[in-house]
């Protein structure tokens, strides 16, 4: 099993049970985890479980609280109810965007349109292959145009959806779960689906007073299940410390763990570069690697190597 990022795979080895913690001062943990998930489960056909607490971040949460989405033309308005919760899925859409290189937000908008409108309604409401979206937030309307996908885009999405469906990939959306219930869930998926890797996007999904104790339990769980566990753990608020202080803070809090990765997105001309420091490693090999990060597709790509 490999992450398929060759510089990272030269440092960390996914050939033995271990707990890997990914930490960051930026918002790049989930994109990397989903890229690794895609590379392992879809490309290598290795059974994987991805658990996230972020179902429909851009749609469902807002619908539940204060947001309505309305499609409008000169003739009428149609209010879209919370059935949108079943229309789009943050994790799947991120992976499809990664595969197809289609903008993730455009993908989500199109999923919504096609999920709540018939083909006839789309044809009637569209103009210049666009449909107007109106977000109603606190009584105020915010206008946004959804670019409808063309035939080529739809074929790409269809192929990506089929890849997802045929892959040994299991997605589980959990807002909160007790530690013992989480461990039980992992045992069940290992037993019933023979998963080889478990990825949890955020340690806060597990409801337990001590995060350090959670990490200890997950480290032991990886041994008992003979499995790789990767977990997202935001330890530091953005722009709070210097890089040196950030790294030292993480080392102190996670010194007993198997492997610790610290992620940071570049700034300025370096904006599309994701830097990864290996701060601790079960294989006793440390280093820093860099990946190309295309934010609009949530995609991480190997940088070209120069061979002399």
Q: Give which of 190, 168, 201 is closest to 31, Cα–Cα.
A: 201
> What gap in Å lies between CA 46 and CA 34, rounded to an integer?
14
Residue pair 30/232 in contact (Cβ under 8 Å)? The answer is yes
Residue pair 233/256 in contact (Cβ under 8 Å)? The answer is no
For residues 238-270, b (16+ Cβ closer than 10 Å) or e, as one string?
eeeeeeeebbebbeebbeebbbbbbbbbeeeee
For residue 305, give both structure tokens. Answer: 């190597």
Cβ neighbourhood burial of 29 (10 Å; 0-12, 13-18, 19+): buried
Predicted pLDDT at 70: 45
Residue pair 59/108 in contact (Cβ under 8 Å)? The answer is yes
Predicted pLDDT at 77: 42
Predicted pLDDT at 186: 95
3-state secondary structure of 184: helix
Predicted pLDDT at 135: 64
* Mean pLDDT computed over every residue of the chain: 79
- pLDDT tens-digit profile of 147-159? 898 889 989 999 9
E-strand ranges in the chain read 18-24, 48-52, 67-72, 77-80, 130-137, 140-147, 169-173, 177-178, 197-200, 206-207, 228-232, 259-265, 273-280, 287-294, 299-302
> What gap in Å lies between CA 113 and CA 300, rounded to an integer?
28
H or E element at residue 7: helix 6-11
Predicted pLDDT at 87: 42
- pLDDT tens-digit profile of 23-53? 887 788 889 999 999 999 999 999 999 998 7
> What gap in Å lies between CA 50 and CA 39, rounded to an integer?
13
Predicted pLDDT at 233: 84
Q: Give which of 189, 186, 218 is closest to 20, Cα–Cα.
A: 218
Which regions in the chain score pLDDT beneath 70? 54-89, 134-142, 235-255, 305-308
Residue pair 194/226 in contact (Cβ under 8 Å)? The answer is no
3-state secondary structure of 24: strand
Residue pair 72/134 in contact (Cβ under 8 Å)? The answer is yes
Residue-range domains of the chain with CATH: 6-53+174-302 (3.40.50.300), 60-157 (no CATH)
Predicted pLDDT at 137: 60
> What gap in Å lies between CA 170 and CA 264, rounded to an integer?
28
Query: Could you tell me the strand order of the sheet in which 48-52 lies?
Result: 169-173, 48-52, 197-200, 228-232, 18-24, 259-265, 273-280, 287-294, 299-302
């Amino acid at each position: 099993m490999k992450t398929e990022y060759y510089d990272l795979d030269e440092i960390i080895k996914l050939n033995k049970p271990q707990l890997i913690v990914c930490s960051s001062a930026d918002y790049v943990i989930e994109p990397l985890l989903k890229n690794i998930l895609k590379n392992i489960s879809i490309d290598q056909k290795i059974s994987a479980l991805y658990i996230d607490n972020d179902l429909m971040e851009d749609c469902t949460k807002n619908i539940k609280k204060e947001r309505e989405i309305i499609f409008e033309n000169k003739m009428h308005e149609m209010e879209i109810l919370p059935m949108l919760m079943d229309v789009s899925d943050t994790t799947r859409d991120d992976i499809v965007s990664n595969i197809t290189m289609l903008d993730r937000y455009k993908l989500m908008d199109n999923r919504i349109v096609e999920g709540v409108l018939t083909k006839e309604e789309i044809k009637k409401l569209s103009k210049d292959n666009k449909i107007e979206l109106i977000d109603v937030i606190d009584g105020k309307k915010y206008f946004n145009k959804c670019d409808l996908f063309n035939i080529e885009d739809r074929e790409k999405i269809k192929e990506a959806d089929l890849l997802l469906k045929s892959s040994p990939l299991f997605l589980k959306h959990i807002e909160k779960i007790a530690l013992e219930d989480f461990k039980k869930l992992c045992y069940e998926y290992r037993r019933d689906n023979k998963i080889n890797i478990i990825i949890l996007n955020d340690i806060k999904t597990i409801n337990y007073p001590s995060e350090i104790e959670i990490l200890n339990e997950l480290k032991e769980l990886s041994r008992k299940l003979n499995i790789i566990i990767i977990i997202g753990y935001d330890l530091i608020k953005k722009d709070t410390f210097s890089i040196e202080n950030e790294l030292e803070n993480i080392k102190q809090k996670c010194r007993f763990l198997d492997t610790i990765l610290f992620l940071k997105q570049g700034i300025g001309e370096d904006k599309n570069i994701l830097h990864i420091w290996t701060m601790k490693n079960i294989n006793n090999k440390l280093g820093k690697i860099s990946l190309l990060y295309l934010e609009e597709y949530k995609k991480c790509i190997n940088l070209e190597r120069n061979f002399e």
